[in-house]
């Protein structure tokens, strides 16, 4: 009976030692896989051979998951308790809604004639203006003017590029044609060779001897 008790105490002691070792490894981000290979623990990822914590706003195996809705921070352990006109950011927590949105988690757009931060400002537009939920009163044809101007600039740029391409192509063709003509002229026009009077007499005698040999 005493032997069994001693064995149980030893087993508990060894288990505690093993757990402490695993905890120490986990603190450094290192864990053991079933194949006894050293791997990074959950909520850690490897950088240059070292296991480091997940970036804020991420968690899981190799930090591949973003924080679920309503959570944020390191390992996504913090819960957002946002007020109306706030939204939960997975890195920073509760943030105010962007201009033009409001409500729970900022999912609602500003109603008609309202704009700005939390849709708290009211438009008082002129007859030739309309209420933009972000900027307030703007000219009604501002958007169409911007679209037309952008399209015009794109067309002008495209036409300019086409003209440049044509000019370059024509220039290259002309240069190549001139080079070919010059090379052909050089090939067809051998350089004349001038001999002295004595040299011409010797050549004439050689030609006569060669002619007599043939006939």
| pLDDT tier at 25, thresholds 50, 70, 90 | very low
Q: Is the pTM of this model over 0.75?
A: no
Domain residues for 77?
28-143
| pLDDT tier at 80, thresholds 50, 70, 90 | very high
Tell me whether residue 15 is in a domain.
Answer: no
At residue 92, the pLDDT reads 93
Residues 177 and 171: beta-carbon distance below 8 Å: no
Higher pLDDT, 109 or 165: 109
At residue 96, the pLDDT reads 93
Tell me whether residue 103 is in a domain.
Answer: yes
At residue 215, the pLDDT reads 54
| pLDDT tier at 15, thresholds 50, 70, 90 | very low
| pLDDT tier at 16, thresholds 50, 70, 90 | very low
Tell me whether residue 183 is in a domain.
Answer: no
Please state, in angstroms and rounded to a whole number, the distance separating the CA atoms of residues 57 and 88: 11
Residue 213, burial from CB neighbour count under 10 angstroms (0-12, 13-18, 19+) = exposed
Higher pLDDT, 63 or 26: 63
pLDDT in tens, 153-187: 777 878 878 788 788 877 777 777 776 666 555 44
Q: Which phi and psi (to 5°) does residue 130 adopt? A: -135, 160
* Count of domains for the chain: 1
Tell me whether residue 215 is in a domain.
Answer: no
Tell me whether residue 4 is in a domain.
Answer: no
């Amino acid at each position: 009976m005493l032997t069994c008790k001693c064995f149980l105490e030893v087993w508990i002691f060894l288990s505690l030692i093993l757990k402490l070792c695993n905890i120490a490894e986990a603190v450094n981000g290192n864990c053991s896989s079933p194949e006894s290979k050293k791997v990074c623990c959950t909520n850690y990822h490897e950088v240059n051979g070292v296991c480091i914590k997940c970036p804020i706003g991420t968690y899981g195996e190799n930090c591949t998951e973003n924080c679920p809705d309503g959570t944020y921070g390191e390992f996504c352990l913090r819960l957002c308790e946002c007020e109306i006109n706030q939204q939960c950011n997975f890195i920073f927590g509760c943030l105010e809604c962007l201009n033009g949105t409001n409500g729970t988690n900022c999912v609602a757009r500003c109603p008609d004639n309202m704009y700005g931060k939390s849709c708290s400002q009211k438009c008082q537009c002129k007859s030739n203006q309309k209420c933009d939920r972000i900027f307030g009163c703007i000219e009604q044809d501002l958007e169409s003017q911007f679209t037309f101007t952008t399209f015009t600039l794109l067309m002008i740029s495209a036409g300019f590029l086409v003209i440049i391409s044509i000019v370059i192509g024509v220039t290259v063709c002309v240069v190549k044609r001139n080079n070919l003509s010059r090379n052909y002229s050089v090939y067809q026009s051998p350089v004349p060779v001038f001999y002295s009077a004595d040299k011409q007499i010797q050549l004439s005698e050689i030609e006569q001897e060669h002619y007599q040999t043939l006939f």
